[in-house]
Chains A and B, each alone.
Chain A
Amino acid sequence: MGYPHPSHPGEQPLLSKYFGDPGARSYEGWVKRGGYESLRKALGMTRDQVTEEVKASGLRGRGGAGFPTGLKWSFMPKEVTRPHYLVCNADESEPGTFKDREIMRWTPHQLLEGCAIAAHAIGAERVYIYIRGEFTAEYRILLEAVEEATRAGALGADVFGTGRRIEVIVHRGAGAYICGEETAMMNSIEGKRGNPRIKPPFPAQAGLWACPTTINNVETLGSVPHIIREGGAWYKGLCRGNPKSTGTKLFSVCGHVQRPGNYEVVMGTPMKDLIFGMCGGMRPGRTLKAVIPGGSSVPILTAAEIEDCQLDYEGVAARGSMLGSGGMIVMDDSTDIVYQVMRLARFYAHESCAQCTQCREGTAWTTRILERILAGKGKPEDLELLLDLADNMTGKTICVLSDSCAAPVVSAIAKFRPEFEAYLNRTRPPVLATA
């Protein structure tokens, strides 16, 4: 549901059904709402059966990359010769994205149940939930939920008397966007700087402590109990004609809409229905200018480009952007695109881990050029310079943080060039005092 707003008829609340319902938070409350039945069911299935069910559902990673979840699980070795680990990525930090936080704060057991099922499927006895340090309330909620579930036998040394050991450890981050990248997250859990690792080796071969590891997003894992309960085929049926993007997806909508919040819709729902229907459209007197559809790291779309845009992996890609995490930043005509692109570049410069040259220096330099433009001190060649730097920053580094900084810059210059030029030719007054 469109928490904090009442559910909209266009939604299909699955994960978000109990958002805003404090009674769903406790173990008992969750069980009353049908919780942990899927885990019991999954424990009665073999590892392969669970994985096959998830494969059949068409579920794709909800963290941003959209990799098929069942396929990812199937990369884990069949024989468990050394510890297997499941890591739940609860480091939600992609600007514009705030869905995982809602899942954890209202329905922590939904997540724990998903974790336990996934752990069973990949042969893991231990699950680390890596939650970003700023989520103080959700951290406490998760700790409490793990304790309750362990007391109730839904987690621990002997889950529901099946002899299966599944322990969940909540690991708190400490302020680093890049730890949301899966290999950086593993380093962070190991007590290191959150530097992304070179792939290969992939986590399923050598992840946490060089053991086979699967990393899944909160929303992905939260979807799993529903798939096990209702069946993969049922879940796959939740789509609007595109079998490659199935199920429901939580879209975090923020910025200049009347009702920002999390909306859960079936994949393929028109973007306009979400923005103008469920979210109530722009504030009075305002018109839509641009949408960053998948968290801040993806190319910006103009109002014209979201016409007829389907909200699924392929639909958004067809418009030249990405579905990403489903965090949608909506900007109306009052928005200074140049300023917001500078803010995003500043974000990436702040978060760059410092490993790769292009990212370490490029994100900071890009920010400085944008600041200079905003201060009215830009040079005619600055846009070409920005684009050339963006080219040097794209596809060349260990992870995609550098690319993520370049993408909004490139797309904003392509689509909103006159706004940059207004600063460059001094027809727009400077908005930054220094540069």
Chain B
Amino acid sequence: MQLTLEFGGGLELLCDSVKVHNVDVDLPAEEKKLTMKHLLAWVRNNLIKERPEMFMKGDTVRPGVLVLVNDCDWELSGQLDTTLENKDVVVFISTLHGG
């Protein structure tokens, strides 16, 4: 499944300072749909190069990290249960920086 992932607010520093990643994520073997839960695990294993604890806490993102799925706050779409479609855009922004 083709997805565009964007990292902002400093999270890009955890993945080689690349902000936009066009990725191809395979569906988990026994599942029919790709959910955010799977995507987060995939991102953690494949994109995050250092300090994963800055990005994740438990099986979800660290509090203070905003997640937008197609420009929409993931709290509206069911957070970890959000189902992803081909060509979806997922944005992660950390709000834990100064300002």
Query: Is A bound to B?
Result: no
